[in-house]
Structure 1
Amino acid sequence: MTKYMISFPSSAVVVTEQEFPAVAKASYAVVQEAKDAGVWVFGGGIDESIAPVMVDESGNVTQGTYADTTHLEGGYSVLELPSYEAALEWAAKMAVATHCAQEVRAFQDDPEG
């Protein structure tokens, strides 16, 4: 089975403060459904209060990230699924829960994983 990352940037979730608790509850319900179905690998939201750093091959740490990846935030879920179509179905469930479109990416197969 293939692992799929289903994600969204924080800026895509456009809900009021009053709507946010219901959106969070619906999102956690989809996560629980994925766990109950046995397809959940891991997931969570990026802690946006901690700035990204780069660590080079000598161990030097610098503030920031890759120039073409200026901002990485939002929520990510990794599910192990039997097909791309199944990934699209889960992404649709997550889109309904979060009130925003979801990006779907497939991880390359790891023959030793």
Structure 2
Amino acid sequence: MKYYLLSVMQPVGEPPAPEVLAEIGKNLDRFHQELREAGAWVFAGGLHGPESSTVLRPRDGDVLVTDGPYAEGKEHLGGICLVRAPDLDAALDWGRRAALATTLPIEVRPFMGEAAD
């Protein structure tokens, strides 16, 4: 088994209406339960918006600390889910399920290295 990161790509702008978010939350709870039952669950969590971030950048032997994202865009990382899967096809299947649960784009990326514990 390998580890795969499922990144939730959140659009910039106002969040959906509370009733829409409530339905997405229910869908995510079901998705996370499926992961647990399949033994694929490792970790998942949502993130605050990019305006809450702090960037640490090496500069001249020191580290420069700045507020906010390092780049502006139409999307930002809104949440992550770390899963265990035997191969990329299985990880992509989990990614498809995550996309349906969140109604958002999901990036699936393998971790470097060999098999997970």
Shift in Å, 1:73: 3.1
Map of 1:21 onto structure 2: 22
Change (3 A) 1:64 1:100: closer
TM-score (norm 2): 0.75
Gaps of 5+ in 2: none
Listed one character per residue, the Cα deviations across residues 25-45 of structure 1 (whole Å, up to 9, x for unaligned) are 011110111122211111111
Deviations 1:4-53 (A, max 9, x none): 111222218x8543222111101111011112221111111112286211
- Percent identical among aligned pairs is 28
Query: How far, CA to CA, are the matches of 2:104 and 2:51 in structure 1?
Result: 24
Alignment gaps of 5+ in structure 1: none
Matched, 1:36 2:44: no
Residues of 2 paired with 1:60 and 1:8: CA distance?
A: 28
Q: Is the 8 A contact 1:47 1:73 kept in 2?
A: no
Q: Which 4+ residue blocks in structure 1 deviate beyond 6 angstroms? A: none
SS of the residue corresponding to residue 109 of structure 1 reads coil
Query: How many residue pairs end up in the alignment?
Result: 110
Deviates more, 1:53-62 or 1:32-41: 53-62
Kindly indicate which of the two structures has a greater share of residues assigned to strand. 2
Correspondence for 2:96: 92
What TM-score, normalized by structure 1, do the two folds share? 0.77
Task: Find the partner of 1:81 among 85, 91, 99.
Answer: 85
The CA distance in 1 between the partners of 2:32 and 2:66, in whole Å, is 34
